[in-house]
């Protein structure tokens, strides 16, 4: 991605104002600019924008409204709206926003446009990095987030299992990582759940495996759900539920974004990335309700619902990851509607039994403005997974605690990892917000990268 940052002695200043600070700021403006702001009815409301003219007709400076410091809610990504408002040019922050680092990141993220199928030029704006802000780190994070967005936004006809594998292979090649891919019938023996979910599609399922870093460093393994399209299988979704199922590989996209950050920053980890890439299709050979499969781990799984396929493909990948006894095992997936009912699209739940990890994740989520909320691995609900004919079912009957029972299902496949983190993301922004356009979104990856940076910088 082209850099959004550059230094310029003539950069146009952006003055951040709030309702409480506006009168004081207005007094510092030249009389003509103050009069122009008054005539324009500029009110310093959050998101309010006004370009103030110089005597020669050029833009002298820009006013942009933020929430007051004591406001009930503040959008720290509010400056991400600026790239869509500013004329072409280079700008600088003339005063401190609520958080200069997050404001600079928001500015970079606000430059994103998905332009694969129609002309959508990125805004021709640049920002002088604020004092004390690491521009290279901001661009590292922004570039990775844009990778996740691009992958999710690409429709399934151009982002099937093979295309997702190609994107992963390109990322591995960029950073000198190893790449392996097991596909089709070769999955049947060692990864039967991945094979079962993907076997009805004309596009063969795959297990993508990337390795990077010094083998002597702590082992960190990332697993991402890569369901490139989800019809629901024989338990077919309604058309409204199928509409944005191109995003069902959002876990894989965000795992690749996180891996990009880790490798680009050269964190001291032995990184492994596993992505089960499948299409959950409908055909005569599709897996059926009440079918039973023996997973890689040896646990027999009864299919309670073919639309609970994400946990199936993750289960085999997690079992493989767990065999290596990683220091930290992390999985991301767009898994349950129950998580959205509980917490909405912006706030993914996360699960772990590691109290230190939980506290670190929650703290980094706040610091990075990458919201996450801890949910319990409530063991009394584990009995709901019991099956009369197999070890467990993938979809307990009833509609209670769906995100929790999904996490408990995945926990059955983890035995040796020193620490495990599961995140049930949405991977999509339903309506545009500053720095977050409608469409595919990078969720949880920035917070987890912050955590890994603290531990393994």
Residues with catalytic roles: 237, 311
Contacts of residue 147, defined as CB under 8 A and 6 or more positions apart, other chains included, come to: 171, 253, 256, 257, 260
- Cα separation, 186 vs 198, in Å, equals 12
């Amino acid at each position: 991605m082209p850099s959004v940052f550059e230094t310029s002695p003539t950069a146009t200043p952006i003055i951040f104002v709030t309702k409480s600070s506006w009168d004081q700021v207005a007094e510092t403006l030249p009389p003509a600019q103050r009069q122009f702001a008054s005539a324009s009815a500029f009110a310093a409301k959050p998101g309010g924008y006004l370009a103030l003219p110089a005597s020669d007709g050029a833009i002298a400076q820009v006013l942009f409204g933020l929430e007051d410091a004591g406001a009930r809610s503040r959008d720290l990504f509010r400056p991400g709206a600026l790239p869509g408002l500013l004329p072409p040019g280079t700008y600088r922050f003339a005063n401190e926003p609520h958080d200069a680092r997050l404001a600079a990141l928001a500015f970079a993220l606000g430059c994103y446009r998905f332009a694969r199928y129609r002309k959508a030029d990125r805004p021709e704006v640049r920002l002088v990095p604020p004092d004390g802000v690491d521009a290279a780190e901001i661009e590292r994070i922004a570039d990775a987030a844009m990778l996740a967005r691009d992958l999710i936004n690409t429709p399934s006809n151009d982002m099937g299992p093979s295309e997702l594998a190609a994107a992963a292979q390109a990322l591995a090649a960029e950073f000198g990582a190893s790449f392996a891919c097991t596909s089709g019938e070769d999955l049947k023996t060692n990864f039967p759940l991945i094979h079962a979910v993907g076997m009805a599609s004309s596009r063969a399922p795959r297990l993508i495996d990337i390795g990077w870093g010094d083998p002597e460093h702590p082992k960190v393994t990332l697993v991402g759900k890569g369901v490139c399209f989800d019809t629901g299988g024989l338990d077919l979704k309604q058309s409204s539920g199928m509409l944005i199922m191109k995003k069902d590989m959002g876990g894989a996209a965000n795992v690749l974004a996180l891996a990009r950050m880790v490798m680009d920053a050269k964190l001291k980890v032995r990184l492994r990335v596993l992505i089960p890439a499948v299409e959950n299709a409908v055909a005569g050979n599709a897996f059926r309700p009440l079918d039973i499969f023996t997973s890689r781990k040896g646990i027999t799984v009864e299919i309670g619902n073919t639309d609970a396929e994400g946990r199936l493909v993750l289960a085999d990948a997690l079992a493989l990851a767990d065999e290596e006894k990683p220091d930290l095992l992390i999985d991301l997936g767009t898994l349950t509607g129950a998580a959205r009912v509980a917490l909405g699209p912006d706030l993914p739940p996360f699960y772990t039994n590691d109290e230190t990890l939980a506290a670190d994740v929650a703290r980094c989520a706040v610091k990075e403005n990458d919201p996450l909320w801890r949910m319990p691995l409530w063991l009394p609900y584990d009995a709901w997974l019991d099956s009369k004919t197999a070890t467990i079912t993938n979809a307990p009957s009833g509609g209670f605690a769906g995100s929790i029972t999904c996490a408990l299902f995945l926990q059955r496949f983890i035995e040796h990892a020193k620490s495990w983190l599961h995140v049930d993301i949405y991977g999509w922004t339903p309506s545009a917000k500053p720095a977050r356009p409608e469409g595919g979104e990078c969720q949880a990856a920035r917070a987890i990268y912050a955590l890994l940076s603290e531990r393994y910088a």
